[in-house]
Structure 1
Amino acid sequence: MQNPIDFVTRPDASRRRDILILALLFGVLFLQLLGQYPLIDPDETRYAEIPREMLERGDLITPLLNYVLYFEKPVLLYWLNALSFTLFGINEFAARLACALCGLGTVLFSYHLGRELFGRRVGLLSALVLGGCTGFLIQSRMNLTDIPLTFTMTVALGSYILAARDADRPRPGYYYLFYLFAALAVLAKGLIGIVLPGAVIFWHIALTRRWRILKEMRLPTGIILFLAVAAPWFVMVCQRNPDFFNFFFIHEHFERFLTKVHHRYQPFWYFVPILCGFMIPWSFFIPAALRGFWRERSVHGGESRLYLALWAIIIFLFFSKSNSKLPAYILPVYPALAILIAVLFDKALNGDFRPLRRPALAFGWLLVLLGCGSMIYPLVAHRPLVAPIGGLVVGSILLVQGAFSVGSAIRQDPRGLFTGMLLGSVLLFLVAPHFIYPLFVERKSYREPGEIVKKLAGPDAVLVSQGLRQGLSFYSGRRVAIFGGTGEIEFGSKIGDQSAWFLDRTRFLALWDGPRPVYAMILRKYLPELSRDGKASPRILWQSSKHYLVTNR
């Protein structure tokens, strides 16, 4: 196999050829076996079920989840998935395709941005760093709103600096690209699509004292373009649903950020270990990549490094301050950090290896320890999460990658270090999910019970779930009656008469003992109670470690 660094350092400067090679290389990684595993509750099935219901109803404006109003997110991913379902059918591959393509697009644009700011080699290294980041690869292959947000925000923020970096020659085309993709970012995840880029741009202008950029940004026509793209859906959904404005803008933005109403509170430092773990193997080089960005802002390339640092730091701090936190929220910082890390390795390839030595040694020895621990863990744990063969395979990859990193650091070999980290990360991405993902499938996938219901249940049957299980709706293709808590569709459950679909214990037992066939997803601990209190003895059709699918027939 050819060393990736040999390709990076070639004198050939063909942009089109670079993009084609990167698209083929990472296209395989992002798209291979995309539909192999079932969708995971709650996020993946939620963002598949909403567009499925949109297509079923022929309404692409008002989002419904389990056939009740659901206003927590804007519409971009729903539309992308609806298009994918139309082209490829309603299946796992189609449900994940849009996000995988957005992940691939983020890698390719990172190449373009890195090349424009620092040259071809940094551009290629940027793409390899981001595309070789295990956490970014895995999350981009999941059906999450944060992936389209990351792509659109990356293009928006990147377009701004490409337009503004040359004070003597502003590039208006990139400004308009900024407004377009900022609008798409708003459609991807709401006001943060413009608030966060706006904060980064403000601090860039303020710290560089380049206030004339405000005159160059084509603000009047740019705002018109932004509103022309972002506003129509919000206007139409508000017209059809008067409750949308208050719930989406007040409850889902201000209350989510300022309060703990969503029960996703984590401490301020929550994203530090998340970033370190999800951006492996490159996370150990983040401090060195950020070092000196302010002090060196006036040297060649210094303003671009300052901007990328502001991009990463402001977004990271914003989500750290928020009272609602999930691991995928900080994905938009990855492209900026990838380019900064690429600049660090570019300097090492030019002979300055010193900033890499300590983090490479620390990273390498940590991987050696993790590799040994991964091999031992299944043999000594009482109920291990992975089988011994899985621990052996994953541990071996980590051990070899760690030893290679230590050796490269001692030899001060940036080519060997980069190549070993990249290939080890890609190999880990290809191998580890086959041992780890089945655990999530067993606990958080409802494909099998949903397909059982779809096969056995007639039109008069009722599907009931103890708590919201969104995969049941998606895989059965029908509405689910809920008892034991409304979950995240509490808002929709209060709009209109939903009494037939949100049940208390008494009404569920009455339905269970009635004349209609009932298929119920219940917690395992509830089975004795149902057997005792229900007249019809429950027949088990499917079971997992947490649930039973039972029927009264």
Structure 2
Amino acid sequence: MRLCWRGAAHTHDSTSSSSGRVPGPTDEPRTPSSSHSPRRLPVSLRFSAWKPRPLGPRRTALRRHHTGHAEVRRLDPSHRQRRKLHPEATPVLLDSPSSIAALLCVLCVYRFGRRLFGFRVGWLAAWGLATTQRFFVEARWVHMDTLLTLFILLSMESAHRALEGEKREWVWMYLWMALGCLTKGPLAMAIPVAALLVYLGSCREMVRLKECGGWWGLPLAVAPTAAWLFVNAHLSGFDPAEVLREQILQRFQEGLHHPRPFFYYFYSLPVEFLPWTLFLPGTVRFTFPSSGGKDRRSLLFFYGWVIGGFALLSLVAEKRPSYLLSIFPALALLVGVFLDSFLTRYDAAPLKRWMEWPLALAGAVCLAATGLLARWGRYHRGFAHRLVPLGLFLVLVFSGTLWALRKRHRGAGIIILLTGIFAGYLWVVAAMLPWLNPYKSARPFCERVLSRIGLSPLGIYEDNHPGVAYYCHRSLKLLRGPDELREFLQGPTPGYCVIREEELRELEGQCPLRSLEEYSVGHRKLVLVSGGPGNRNHPDGPPP
């Protein structure tokens, strides 16, 4: 389940990997390769009378008829009129919920760490979370994962306060769970429950579960989502039991869109938590709670959060890297404790090698990768001169940090590392993401689609692509199965459909389809299809 701002106004292709913000509109559309170029066709122009100004490339619709000619006409002005009444959502507006939630996560991690371990741990943990690669990416996307992470973080902080004696915090924990459940389903309740079970079990205090008030708290957390689901089911006419079966049971047992093996997160977590993965071995070595150790119960709480959340996510068949964000605050706090111990211990020699060896390894990897990128970049225009300077800069950052630590300037070394990583992210935002955005954007494909279909009905097969809906400026009818697709394409008002290339191959022989446009959006190849040559009602079909 998603909050209402997600919907069709989605400026990114969220099913793909990392991307920057979607750029604003330009005067000239980016045109993909297609045989239907207006410069190659004999064109006869006929203009609609509703707008006397000269035609611009963004206000025309090109349609090829069976006669071999092309007709250029203006698009329906209703969309422009609607934009005057309801201004179009901008990338900044759409990204704001994710970015604001990410900022609040950073502030809450700082507050949590300062309350338990002191100012320095809170500051280091907050900085570490903000510069984690997956967290940084999700904060710039129109995803709900940073908001879900915020509610899980607040739930865990309230649970910790409640276990320390502030009984009223149980109410707050369940309220944060309720908001998280509204945001992205029952995962917002399952992860805190799993974390508390592991923590209380490790403390041998399972009897304290009675204090949680689960008999009234869990129904309270579920109630807003259940009310929302049944009201929408009544108004829209869908079966709520089918939604629950598909979105909960099927995701858990089989996976809906991204089924992965149970060990997926074992190799995904080290990549997503970069660059702080370098210090996870030292963190586990020196912060794992021992009997009678300092801050043992607080450390057990965070390890229970990480282990319980990781185990639960591994058991669920549906797996995505963004789901790991729910345990990142606990990992960042543990890394903050390790870095603080390295900075403040009088005898830091046992920790020193757990800092120096990862830094030397990271510098060597960056140097080797820079050489490979310089060679590979010759085949990809613009690739090398954006990534090679970043790789060399990171080599200098890791080398400078290592040099400072070797000279026993521990504070200076940590400052060099933090500021260098921050500057690297600024380079990514300024140079990399704008360059990568056309690769991820559905805008060129949608401009070709609108040129083709004008105001005709448009559907999408099997799975929603919010980026396509956004750039097509309309709601897309979701079509499931060959029969529903055939009925939509060959109905009284013939329609068009956007379909993935692999699904198009599966439909061969089941439904007569005609491929009109093809374009790669990220790693997916999308195809615009019509009802095929057997449909006489369709403008792309044969003449009657």
TM-score (norm 2): 0.70
Alpha carbons 2:289, 2:300 under 8 Å: kept? no
Alpha carbons 1:378, 1:385 under 8 Å: kept? no
- Are 1:376 and 2:375 matched, yes or no? no
Q: What is the CA-CA distance between 1:518 and the residue it aligns to?
A: 6.6
Structure 1 unaligned spans of 5+ = 1-36, 49-85, 482-488, 527-533
SS at match of 2:252: helix
Alpha carbons 1:38, 1:447 under 8 Å: kept? no
- C-alpha distance in 2 between matches for 1:270 and 1:354: 35
SS at match of 1:39: coil
The equivalent of 1:254 in structure 2 is 249
138-147 vs 211-220, which deviates more? 211-220
Q: Which amino acid aligns with 2:311?
A: L
The equivalent of 1:397 in structure 2 is 393
Alpha carbons 2:459, 2:497 under 8 Å: kept? yes
Q: Which amino acid aligns with 2:249?
A: F
The equivalent of 2:104 in structure 1 is 105
Q: From the superposition, tell whether residues 43 and 162 of structure 1 become closer, same or farther in structure 2 (CA, over 3 Å).
A: farther
The equivalent of 1:90 in structure 2 is 89
The equivalent of 1:233 in structure 2 is 228
The equivalent of 1:159 in structure 2 is 158
Q: Which amino acid aligns with 1:377?
A: L
Q: Which residue of 449, 462, 475 corresponds with 2:471?
A: 475
Q: Which amino acid aligns with 2:344?
A: N
- C-alpha distance in 1 between matches for 2:342 and 2:249: 44
1:398-477 matches, cutoff 5 A: 398-437=394-433, 441-450=437-446, 458-459=454-455, 461-463=456-458, 469-477=465-473
The equivalent of 1:71 in structure 2 is none
Q: What is the CA-CA distance between 1:388 and the residue it aligns to?
A: 1.8
Question: 1:364-392: CA deviations, max 9, x gaps?
Answer: 22332333234323432274486221122
1:59-458 matches, cutoff 5 A: 89-165=88-164, 170-211=165-206, 213-217=208-212, 222-223=217-218, 225-240=220-235, 244-259=239-254, 261-262=255-256, 264-291=258-285, 295-351=289-345, 352-354=347-349, 356-381=351-376, 383-384=379-380, 387-437=383-433, 441-450=437-446, 458=454
Q: From the superposition, tell whether residues 464 and 231 of structure 1 become closer, same or farther in structure 2 (CA, over 3 Å).
A: closer
- C-alpha distance in 2 between matches for 1:315 and 1:163: 20
1:523-542 matches, cutoff 5 A: none
Q: From the superposition, tell whether residues 307 and 407 of structure 1 become closer, same or farther in structure 2 (CA, over 3 Å).
A: same
What is the aligned-residue identity percentage? 21
- C-alpha distance in 1 between matches for 2:253 and 2:306: 21
Question: 1:307-343: CA deviations, max 9, x gaps?
Answer: 1011011211222233222111111111001111111
- C-alpha distance in 1 between matches for 2:451 and 2:179: 39
Q: From the superposition, tell whether residues 247 and 521 of structure 1 become closer, same or farther in structure 2 (CA, over 3 Å).
A: closer
Q: From the superposition, tell whether residues 409 and 276 of structure 1 become closer, same or farther in structure 2 (CA, over 3 Å).
A: farther
Alpha carbons 2:515, 2:527 under 8 Å: kept? no
Q: What is the CA-CA distance between 1:302 and the residue it aligns to?
A: 0.8
Q: Which amino acid aligns with 1:441?
A: N
The equivalent of 1:67 in structure 2 is none
Alpha carbons 1:446, 1:475 under 8 Å: kept? yes
Alpha carbons 1:264, 1:324 under 8 Å: kept? yes
- C-alpha distance in 1 between matches for 2:128 and 2:513: 61
Identify, as 1 or 2, the structure richer in helix.
1
SS at match of 2:437: helix
Q: From the superposition, tell whether residues 466 and 418 of structure 1 become closer, same or farther in structure 2 (CA, over 3 Å).
A: same
Q: Which residue of 503, 510, 525 corresponds with 2:486?
A: 503
Q: Which amino acid aligns with 1:92?
A: P
Q: From the superposition, tell whether residues 523 and 219 of structure 1 become closer, same or farther in structure 2 (CA, over 3 Å).
A: closer
Q: From the superposition, tell whether residues 515 and 104 of structure 1 become closer, same or farther in structure 2 (CA, over 3 Å).
A: closer
Larger radius of gyration: 2
Question: 1:235-269: CA deviations, max 9, x gaps?
Answer: 4245456754433433332332233x536343443
TM-score (norm 1): 0.69
461-470 vs 372-381, which deviates more? 461-470
Q: From the superposition, tell whether residues 299 and 264 of structure 1 become closer, same or farther in structure 2 (CA, over 3 Å).
A: same
Question: 1:356-414: CA deviations, max 9, x gaps?
Answer: 42343233223323332343234322744862211222212221122123223423433
Q: Which amino acid aligns with 1:304?
A: S
Q: From the superposition, tell whether residues 456 and 209 of structure 1 become closer, same or farther in structure 2 (CA, over 3 Å).
A: same
- C-alpha distance in 2 between matches for 1:245 and 1:456: 37
Question: 1:161-219: CA deviations, max 9, x gaps?
Answer: 12213xxxx11332222111111222222222212211211222232233564454455
The equivalent of 2:62 in structure 1 is none
- C-alpha distance in 2 between matches for 1:139 and 1:452: 29
Structure 2 unaligned spans of 5+ = 1-9, 22-84, 505-511, 531-538
Q: What is the CA-CA distance between 1:436 and the residue it aligns to?
A: 4.2
Q: Which amino acid aligns with 2:267?
A: P
Q: What is the CA-CA distance between 1:223 and the residue it aligns to?
A: 4.8
- C-alpha distance in 1 between matches for 2:171 and 2:248: 26
Q: What is the CA-CA distance between 1:537 and the residue it aligns to?
A: 11
SS at match of 2:263: helix
SS at match of 1:291: helix
Q: What is the CA-CA distance between 1:222 and the residue it aligns to?
A: 4.0
- C-alpha distance in 2 between matches for 1:395 and 1:320: 33
Q: What is the CA-CA distance between 1:114 and the residue it aligns to?
A: 0.8
Indicate the structure whose relative CO is greater, using CA pairs within 8 Å and at least 6 residues apart. 2
SS at match of 1:503: helix
How many pairs align? 448
Report the aligned-residue RMSD. 4.1
Q: What is the CA-CA distance between 1:465 and the residue it aligns to?
A: 6.0
Q: From the superposition, tell whether residues 234 and 367 of structure 1 become closer, same or farther in structure 2 (CA, over 3 Å).
A: same
Alpha carbons 1:289, 1:340 under 8 Å: kept? yes
Alpha carbons 1:256, 1:322 under 8 Å: kept? yes
